[in-house]
Structure 1
Amino acid sequence: MVKCGIRSVAQLAGVSIGTVSKILNPGSAANIRVSEETRDKVLAAAEKLDYRPSYGAKLLRGESTRTIGFATSLPKDHNIAYLSSYTFRLLNGIGQAASLNGYQVLLLNGVDYSYFLNIKRVDALIMVSFPLCSNPERERMRGMFEEFARRNYPYVVINGEPAAPGEPVIPSIGVDNESGMRQIAELIRRKGYESVGFAGELTPNPQSHHLERVRALERFLAGSGCRFSPELVLNGSGSGIPEVPRVGRYSHEDGRVILQYLHERKQIPRCMVCGNDDIAMGLLKAAREYGIRIPEELAVIGFDDDVNADYLCVPLTSVHQPLEEFGRLAVDYVLEKMNDPGRQIQLTIEPKLIERSTT
């Protein structure tokens, strides 16, 4: 069969090539000005000739790809199977908002994201950030953000870290960690827990967000009479604290090993605050194995409010991040940025503590 082109479709439908292009490009602003009769004729001709628009040709013409790139920040040697529920919730919000606006989403991982913008493979970029305490990629990322700023690319970072002095301002949408930890501290004070620990990542290079949460919790608990001493803060590894190999960014194993470590040393506090819900779930599993009653002997608080938090054997108290809303807001912003190059966003959203049966 001879492959037919857009010219053949136009001839069969009795319209111009430009009209065919408008109708077969669902993102075309001119599409709405085409009559239903003309649209039907073109679609029927395209179907009869088995014609499909050439994506490669659209790229060569520099047209919009109607595609938003989503950079997952997975390690290079991992695949999509290691995406956490955190990332999937962001993706749900991004996907819904993109679809409503006639866009598709392309997952990007472990690559030079600027390349996809430079060749116009994507029209915009949304990045989910997991800022490390010590980021060996920092200089490369700084150079990339400087390029984005210079070229005025539409991009946004979800839950990133503030730009350092002298660095370009990074468009961002994120959670208010201070507010989340303040709400946790208020619950701890109200419950009268006499001692509190923190379970983070058992890795030499944990997330800086966890360190930020530890500092905020310490500050909000000051003067409460609740013991929050350094030996109860397990965030990082070394000095006798084991390292847990990474599977993705966060690990249930962190929580399990942390409770085992505290149990062996008879240092289990009255309440454990966890860096995220995956860690909390691992800790809860270990508590069942050791016969520790939740919440009578150990209260557990997570962060993120995982979709499974309410369905555990003992439903998990957690700080709810509106991750789906982050995704929708990110799409709204990059689409606005395309039409208004001067648009900027630095949005911090207050989370909400959801109390359940683990406290």
Structure 2
Amino acid sequence: MKMAVARTGIKDVARLAGVSVATVSKVFNPSRTTNIRMSESTRRRVLEAAEQLDYTPNYGATLLRGQSSHTIGFSLSLPAEVGAMYMSDYPREILNGLGQAAEAGGYQILLIHGGDYRNYMDIERIDALVILGFRVISNARQAEMIEMFQRFNRRQYPYVVINNSCDALPVPSINLDNRHGVKLIAELIRRKGYSSVGFVGELTSNPQSHLVERENLLREFLAGSGINCDESVFLNGARPGVPDLPRTGLYSHTDGMEAVRLLHRRGTLPRCLVCGNDTIAQGVICAAAQLGIRIPEELAIIGFDDLLYSQFFNPPLTTVHQPYEEFGRLAYEYVIRKLADPDHFAQIEIKPTLMERSTT
């Protein structure tokens, strides 16, 4: 006669971690309203105990084990990348594509934020997870992020990361081909015959890695062209004499405004400024207007992203187009396939296009 094996319960986790059952419940249901406060060390101790006991609680009394929640989680960032919930135009457009595809497929979207998304998967609160990747150069919780991905991979959870990669291990992802996008910019610059080019990214000691990649690619594609690409007009990350501006979310108009003011004061404003994203470009346009700099006659401006409002800038912005709604649709299609086939794995790369408008 086969003996029944008792399933590990919440009391076992509490006993091993040396905490109350209520504390364990709080850890595994972070969205629940409760007055329980806990330290990071306590939360980690509970998670380690749960991992040791292979404890994976079900979500809610209404969900039977194995029953689908028909919910896809949408996370705004990786752990510690954004200090508070921050919904810029970038995630909104991706969410539009994801939401439309999910609705057509009979799924709902749960917007989540908080860093460690293992809980939502472990307790079956969501069937799949789509994570927006904002990867800064230095992330204090990088090890935790890698550990989270390792757990997802080990348990074959349906998840995908948009616009991010992880050097430590393979993760399913949907990424923009930055190399192709910057190549389109360099070809435009050569065709227009601009004599000098600069780059404006984030004026902070810890910029996003994809902005650093775009800056380096621009130098690479313009090398040997005879176009002046002096280091002093490439403003991204820590530079001598460049202010370290406080972050507001991750995209800041202030970066563009302060960069133009700084270059104007120095008398080193180049003929063309390439911006790491459209929000920075909007700040560049605003500062140029305040300083009486004519666009594009005196200063050409090129952005990156093609957000919905970029065509309505004054003047309309030349920029690299990212199909954000397509990112959302592809993310939905990936996780749905992963639900049906746990062994499915893909890293998708999308080639952008150039939208040439009145700033060049």
Assess same fold via TM > 0.5: yes
Report the equivalent of 1:316.
317
Establish whether residue 88 from structure 1 lines up as the match of residue 88 from structure 2: no
Relative to the length of structure 1, the TM-score reads: 0.81
Establish whether residue 102 from structure 1 lines up as the match of residue 103 from structure 2: no
CA contact (8 A) 1:159 1:174 kept: yes
**How big is the shift at 1:77?**
4.4
Report the equivalent of 2:278.
277
CA contact (8 A) 2:96 2:328 kept: yes
Report the equivalent of 2:306.
305
Q: Comparing 287-296 with 128-137, which one deviates more in the overlay?
A: 128-137
How many residues align? The count is 300
Whole-Å Cα distance in 2 between the matches of residues 78 and 117 of structure 1?
Answer: 21
Alpha-carbon deviations, 1:110-139, whole Å to 9, x = none?
231011000000100000101111222211
Establish whether residue 153 from structure 1 lines up as the match of residue 153 from structure 2: no
Establish whether residue 254 from structure 1 lines up as the match of residue 260 from structure 2: no
Which has the higher Rg, Structure 1 or Structure 2?
A: 1
Alpha-carbon deviations, 1:19-73, whole Å to 9, x = none?
xxxxxxxxxxxxxxxxxxxxxxxxxxxxxxxxxxxx9333344411100001101
Whole-Å Cα distance in 2 between the matches of residues 136 and 229 of structure 1?
Answer: 32
**How big is the shift at 1:140?**
0.6
Whole-Å Cα distance in 2 between the matches of residues 143 and 336 of structure 1?
Answer: 24
Whole-Å Cα distance in 1 between the matches of residues 312 and 110 of structure 2?
Answer: 31
Establish whether residue 71 from structure 1 lines up as the match of residue 75 from structure 2: yes
Report the equivalent of 1:357.
358
Report the equivalent of 2:208.
207
**Structure 1 304/333 Cα, relative in aligned 2: closer, same or farther at 3 Å?**
same
Unaligned runs of 5+ in 2: 1-58
Alpha-carbon deviations, 1:296-354, whole Å to 9, x = none?
00000000001011111200000000111010000000000000011111011100010
SS in 1 for 2:60: helix
Report the equivalent of 1:342.
343
Unaligned runs of 5+ in 1: 1-54
Whole-Å Cα distance in 2 between the matches of residues 77 and 211 of structure 1?
Answer: 21
TM alignment of 1:183-262, pairs within 5 A: 183-262=184-263
SS in 1 for 2:185: helix
Q: Which of 144, 147, 154 is the aligned partner of 1:143?
A: 147
Alpha-carbon deviations, 1:170-228, whole Å to 9, x = none?
10001000000000000000000010000000111001101111111111111111111
CA contact (8 A) 2:195 2:227 kept: yes
CA contact (8 A) 2:149 2:171 kept: yes
Runs of 4 or more above 6 Å deviation: none
**Structure 1 92/255 Cα, relative in aligned 2: closer, same or farther at 3 Å?**
same
CA contact (8 A) 1:185 1:217 kept: yes
CA-atom RMSD, angstroms?
1.3
CA contact (8 A) 1:75 1:248 kept: no
Q: What is the identity percentage for the equivalent residue pairs of Structure 1 and Structure 2?
A: 54
